[in-house]
Amino acid sequence: MPAPAYSHRFGHTNTPQAIVWTCPLGSRAVVRSVSGVNARNDAVGYVVVQVAGIRVVQLYPAVGQMIQLEMRQVLYGGETVYMVTSHANIDIAVSGYLFADVAAATAAPGETREIPLPGSKPVELEVLDAWLANQ
């Protein structure tokens, strides 16, 4: 019998902060959609999404513009989705599917997996956080 699948929103924000979603152990997730909207009226901003430590999206929506991307990025139990925006009113939403992983895989067959230290972030997000703190 196939594993049950659920539509899932991995995160959304319109403030300049990093959001982290971790795929539960015993589950597998697929990021299918990333939306970035610039609701500001004075500046271009950006949206960054990383899946399992790999940057898969970097968008620069113009003022009043919405960008919608469709994809198939797989996460195994314990892997994370990071999403961040550069300014207030730069909106981001990341969604897809969450499956019960009957094999409880923590990496794709034949792949190795680096496990980040608890509380660690990619260097790009640390740099962005430092920059935002000084704005």
For the chain, domain boundaries? 5-107+118-133
Under DSSP, is residue 39 helix (H, G, I), strand (E, B) or coil? coil
61 pLDDT tier (thresholds 50, 70, 90): confident
Looking at CATH, the fold of the domain delimited by 5-107+118-133 is given as Jelly Rolls (2.60.120)
**What is the pLDDT, as a whole number, of residue 121?**
60
> CA-based angle 10:16:21, to the nearest 5?
20
The strand pairing partners of 21, in sequence order, are 81
CA proximity to 82, closest of 12, 18, 35: 18
Backbone angles phi, psi at 35, to 5 degrees: -120, 135
Calculate mean pLDDT across residues 22-46.
88
45 pLDDT tier (thresholds 50, 70, 90): confident
Which residue has tokens 């990025």? 73
